[in-house]
Structures are given as C-alpha cells and as structure tokens.
C-alpha cells in the first residue's frame, strides 16, 4: 500500500510547497529555550511572547526569512569582571523559528519586563469566484 502525502494526494494539487514547509519545520530542532507563548489576540491577529530575561533590545534580532519568523538572542560577554557563586540565569544564545502562512505579516516587537512580544496579523482573504468558459474543441 502506498502512503499518500500532501504532494501525492490526487485531490490536493499544488501543495508540494506546504509539504516542504512541514518537513523543514520538523528539522528546525527548536529546543525548549527560551520558553514562549502564542496567543490569538483577535480573529486575525496573534502575539508571540518569549521570556528573555537578561537580554536587552540590542542582544536580540528579529528577521523574516523565506516565510519564517526567526528570533535570535546573543548576550554580550562581560568578561572576567564578575565572579558568580551560583549562576542559575541562562546566558546563552538562542534561535527560535516560526513558519508563517501566506498573508501573515509581522507587526511590531515590544520588550516589556523581560518579555519580548511580537505581534502578527493576517489579512482577511478575499472570496473569489472565477468562471471558466468552455470552448468547443476542434
């Protein structure tokens, strides 16, 4: 028996790109740091919130690369000036990636109380009906 995938299912035409996106997202390998929330803030808007304690605005970068929202954090090293008796606050670099659907746009990003909020919105899709004329064959 042959396993059907999105790209080979007879009623799903042109979904090969979606299948590639799913495969790519499975390979991203996001670890559990930093923790994050995703909330729906209205019918067509979302907010991703990352807990980035210890990071400043200059330590973070947000980019959209090939329909993927990529959030990176890299703290600057203070050198050997500080001596820690216990170090429980993570100070490591990270990269978090989120695949964006067509029509989803990244809005503003706000840093507040150690939380990075990234707002997303989705444009309302237009309903379209297309009539195809049938011509008489030769």
Read off the CATH number of the domain in which 109 is found.
2.60.40.790
Domain shared by 102 and 43, yes or no: yes
Give the mean model confidence (pLDDT) for residues 48-54. Answer: 93
> What are the residue ranges of helices labelled H in 54-108?
none
Whole domain around residue 7: which residue ranges?
A: 1-29
Give the confidence band of 125 by pLDDT, cuts at 50, 70, 90: confident
pLDDT beyond 70 at 50: yes
88: left (phi over 0), alpha (psi -120 to 50) or beta: alpha
Domain shared by 43 and 111, yes or no: yes
pLDDT score recorded for residue 31: 67
pLDDT score recorded for residue 73: 95
Q: In this structure, what token pair is assigned to residue 114?
A: 């150690």
Domain shared by 77 and 16, yes or no: no
| Residue 8 in domain | yes
Residue with tokens 């929330």: 37
Domain shared by 37 and 60, yes or no: yes
Mean residue pLDDT of the chain comes to 84
Q: How many domains does the chain have?
A: 2
């Amino acid at each position: 028996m042959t396993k059907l995938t999105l790209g080979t299912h007879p009623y799903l035409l042109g979904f090969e790109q979606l299948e590639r996106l799913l495969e790519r997202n499975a390979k991203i390998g996001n670890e559990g740091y930093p923790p994050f929330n995703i909330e729906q803030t209205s019918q067509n808007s979302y907010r991703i919130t990352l807990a980035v304690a210890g990071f400043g605005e200059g330590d973070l970068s947000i980019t959209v690369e090939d329909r993927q929202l990529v959030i990176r954090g890299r703290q600057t090293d203070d050198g050997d000036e500080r001596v820690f008796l216990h170090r429980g606050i993570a100070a490591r670099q990270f990269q978090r990636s989120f695949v964006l659907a067509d029509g989803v746009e990244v809005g503003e990003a706000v840093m507040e109380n150690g939380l990075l909020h990234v707002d997303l919105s989705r444009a309302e899709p237009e309903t379209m009906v297309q009539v195809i004329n049938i011509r008489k064959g030769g």
